[in-house]
Amino acid sequence: MNLTSCRASNRCMYRRGLFHFFFGTVFAALAVPAHAHIELVTVPKSQAVQLTIYNSADITMVRESRELTFKRGINTLQFSWAGTLIDPTSLRLTFLSEKSKLTLVNTSFPPGRTDALQWHIESELSGPARVEINYFTSGITWSADYTAITSGDEKTMNVEGFVRVINKSGEDYTNAEVRLVVGTVNLVENIAELARGSWRYADLDDNLRHEVRTRLSGKIRLAEREKGPPKPAAMPAPESTLMNGGDKFYDKPKDIIKEGLSEYFLFTVEGRENIPNGWQKRLRAFNAKDVPVKVIYRASDRLTGGAVHKFYEFRNTRQAGQDAKTSLGVSPLPDGTVHIFFEGAQRDLSYQGGVYMKYAATGDKVKLDAGRTREVLVRTFVRDFKRSGFTTDTRYDKSHYVKAWTDTYYFESEIESTLNRPVSIEIERTFPGNFEPASLPFKYEKVDSATLKFFPEIGAREKKQIPYSIQIIHKE
């Protein structure tokens, strides 16, 4: 359809992704003067997009600003969410400039359409003005993953953190500012279901639904501490290398700015990103060098089935002299998979395994279970058993019974290390009843009434037997 035919029909439609813009003559149905008339105008592309993606729920806040050229009279802006996961109940149009000369008259739905709405805007000016469209969408998610490389002596490790953004929302987002939020959002209704026109809780009345949406919107905006609309920016630098799986890397790694927002934490990716539908990107969050790490070998009846597992422990704290952009301890660490490597003397890497890491707040200790190992072996034997300390009493019928007695267990733990350095070992044992240590020739602690944890010392390539005993007192 050319410009002449558009004007002749008084109805024109432009499409770019989700947005349809058409401008034409609007009559009494809009309750405006009959002489109100608008010529066809050109609709430019979006100038700025901001995506705020939450990882605790499938929800993303989208803010898109653009400059439109208005004519005097009624201008009609149509928004369609067909084929996308946008929540139509969250749509909001605001004027960023010329606010006193622009009025949103009403909102209507095109005949026969359930996936679009129209904003009718009365303009007192003939010229440009900036507007912003806000909404929630589903289908855009992010997750964290990490790479940890230990030094040869396993006293330090380099920890690299990444975030992966995945777009399955049905819409392309170009030149977008990406913000990632760690924090819990409680949703009464599912955004994807709202996009399809269905309610999760059908029995909610309209007032309650409105209250829920308003509360959620307010909470998210408060958490974000909005500093105004996203500002136009240059397109991102050309990408240098295309990796397998759709990941893209840049010659210069992008910084991720981190800031706390009460119960949330916000990561802002430096610069702008193209996030097309069906695509994913992996961005570096930090790269901490020489993080002090402690390696502990643990054997637990409850947690490891008695087998020895190798653990790496470090704290999410900032190291002296570390740049805040690359250091740990500046922000929480979202849960994700950590891939652990060991660096040998020839700088060769051996894979230790992929470990799931729970969310770690700033200052928290991170414990990575690298799984079962044969570097340290622990075998436990029962060497002897004695029952003693019998106490008797008399019943009402003058018969005798054993009121209390003591069971003594004599154990021996055989520990063998194949490493050429001393190692830290923790052994956790669970016993059948309330026990008391009898003879333990090493440091220990009583975890609860039935669990004992002890810390024997073992040297380089050493094999030793450690005898100990515990007593369990039985009472009728």
Q: What is the pLDDT along the chain (476 residues), one digit of tens a residue?
A: 333 333 333 333 333 345 555 544 333 333 333 333 333 334 456 678 999 898 777 889 999 988 888 999 999 888 888 889 988 888 899 999 999 999 999 888 888 888 888 889 999 999 999 999 999 999 999 989 999 999 988 999 999 998 889 999 999 998 888 888 876 554 444 545 545 555 443 444 555 555 555 555 555 555 544 444 455 444 333 333 333 334 433 344 555 555 544 456 777 777 788 889 998 888 888 888 999 999 999 999 988 888 999 999 999 998 777 777 778 888 888 889 999 998 877 778 888 888 999 888 888 999 999 999 999 999 999 999 999 989 998 988 888 888 899 999 999 989 999 998 899 899 999 888 778 887 777 788 888 888 889 898 889 999 999 898 888 888 87
> pLDDT tens for residues 3-14?
333 333 333 333
Residue type, 35: H
Cα distance between residue 107 and residue 121, in whole Å: 9
Q: Would you say the pTM of this structure is higher than 0.95?
A: no
For residue 305, give both structure tokens: 């089935």
CA pair distance 440, 427, nearest whole angstrom: 13
For residue 6, give the DSSP letter: H
Write the CA distances from 219 to 41, 185, 264, integer angstroms. Answer: 37, 9, 11
pLDDT digits (tens, 9 = 90+) for 52-105: 898 777 889 999 988 888 999 999 888 888 889 988 888 899 999 999 999 999
Q: Is 463:415 a contact under the CB 8 Å cutoff?
A: yes
* Nearest Cα residue to 377 out of 427, 421, 440: 427
The structural domains of the chain, with segments of one domain joined by +, span 3-47+64-133, 140-144+165-282, 376-475
Record the tokens describing residue 101, joined without a space. 């000369």
- Pairwise CA distance, residues 62 & 55, whole Å: 15
Decide if domain 376-475 falls under CATH 2.60.40. yes
- Of 251, 257, 262, 260, give the one whose Cα is nearest residue 323: 257
For the chain, state the CA radius of gyration: 33
Cβ neighbors of 122 (< 8 A, separation 6 or more) are 32, 36, 73, 74, 75, 102, 103, 105
Written as one string, the DSSP assignment of 240-285 is -EEPGGG-EE-SSPPPEEEEEETTEEEEEESS-EEE-TT-EEEEEE
| pLDDT value of residue 441 | 78
pLDDT at 315: 92
Residue 100, pLDDT score: 93
Q: Classify residue 468 as exposed, middle or buried by CB count within 10 Å of its CB (0-12, 13-18, 19+).
A: buried
